[in-house]
Structure 1
Amino acid sequence: MKKIFFLMSLFLLAAGAARAQKMVIGSRIPDFKGVQWLTTMPEGAGSEHSRPMIIEFYQPSNASSARFFPKLETIWQTYASEDDGLQIVVLVAQDRSCAEQLHQKYNDRYFIGIDPDGQVYRAFNVQFLPYTLVVSSRGEVYWQGNLGNLSDEVLRKVK
């Protein structure tokens, strides 16, 4: 009986750990099903005309999210302002008013969406904020981490 209890505990622990893993470099990203877009949707990753993208999971009440967010403006000016440049996607968890303020401030510079029920955050397995993904034009994770640690080298190399 103790062995069965021990094995069940190990199984549940392993299942929980597997669910909590971050996305793996090279893995395909999930779709944006469930996002309420305030802008047009970004070009589908892996489609004929897709471009690399940065996905920023943003929550204004998170001090680090708010502190690093202005870096997106510099990235946009350097890498995304051209028609064939990076796409910048900002996903806001549940806070429609925040997303609307971002849209008002940045117009259509960024693709801004709301994840009203956390479905997309769960699909991307977001475990901490700020959380940023750099995605290749093939729809694969190229880099992940904190926007403050995202380097120009990564942005120059992603295709």
Structure 2
Amino acid sequence: MKRALLISVLSLLAATGLRAQNVALGERVPELKSVEWRDGAAPAAAPLTYIEFFHSSNSEALRSLDRLKETVEALGGRLRAVVVMRERTERALAMVAPYRSGRIGVAYDADGRIFDAFGVTYVSFGVLTDAKNRALWMGNTLRITPDFIEQTVQ
């Protein structure tokens, strides 16, 4: 009985771990085809894209967006950012509005397809991709800086 319970628990943990991350470094990431762009506009093209998964309930959400905005501005035309969110509440929209620019776009993922395709289980989480849509780095957005991205891209 104990052995069967242990096997069940380990199987559940293994399955959860496998589903927790659908992105592998160096591999292509899911495309953002099913999103709806706020104001109907994607951010300007750039050699690097940072995809930020956002939820207003995250206590670090604004700090992450501040860091992302600083990084995008510092790298100029080399980096664009896409903030992917499921929410359309007034609170969430008010939180992301100051960050929207020509280099930072906001995308709605109302049905959760993009969150699921990337295997996102926590926020702040982001993925840095190259021009060929391959994952270069992924993790907590608070870790990124212009220098960090420069080192990662080399």
Q: Same fold (TM over 0.5)?
A: yes
Mapped pair 1:141 → 2:135:
yes
Deviation track 1:5-33 (CA, whole Å, cap 9, x = no partner) reads 79x95766544432223522112110113
Aligned to 1:27: 27
Mapped pair 1:128 → 2:122:
yes
* TM-score, length-scaled by structure 2: 0.77
Aligned to 2:59: 63
One of 74, 90, 94 as aligned partner of 2:83: 90
Q: Report sequence identity in percent.
A: 25
More helix by share: 2
Give secondary structure in 1 for the equivalent of 2:60. Answer: helix
* TM-score, length-scaled by structure 1: 0.75
Give secondary structure in 2 for the equivalent of 1:23. Answer: coil
Q: Give 5+ residue unaligned stretches, structure 1.
A: 44-48
Aligned to 1:73: 69
Aligned to 1:40: 41
Call closer, same or farther: CA 1:77–1:13 in 2, change over 3 Å. closer
Q: Give 5+ residue unaligned stretches, structure 2.
A: none
Call closer, same or farther: CA 1:69–1:124 in 2, change over 3 Å. same
User: Size of the alignment, in residue pairs?
Assistant: 150
How many Å separate the matches in 1 of 2:73 and 2:43? 18
How far did residue 36 of structure 1 move?
1.0
Q: CA RMSD in A?
A: 3.1
Deviation track 1:34-59 (CA, whole Å, cap 9, x = no partner) reads 2111142357xxxxx76211111111
Contact 2:65 2:99 in 1 (8 A): no
Contact 2:43 2:102 in 1 (8 A): no
Larger displacement relative to structure 2 (60-69 or 118-127): 60-69
Deviation track 1:85-143 (CA, whole Å, cap 9, x = no partner) reads 21111111222543476346534331111111211101111111100111111211111
Mapped pair 1:116 → 2:110:
yes
How many Å separate the matches in 1 of 2:130 and 2:99? 27
How many Å separate the matches in 1 of 2:120 and 2:133? 17
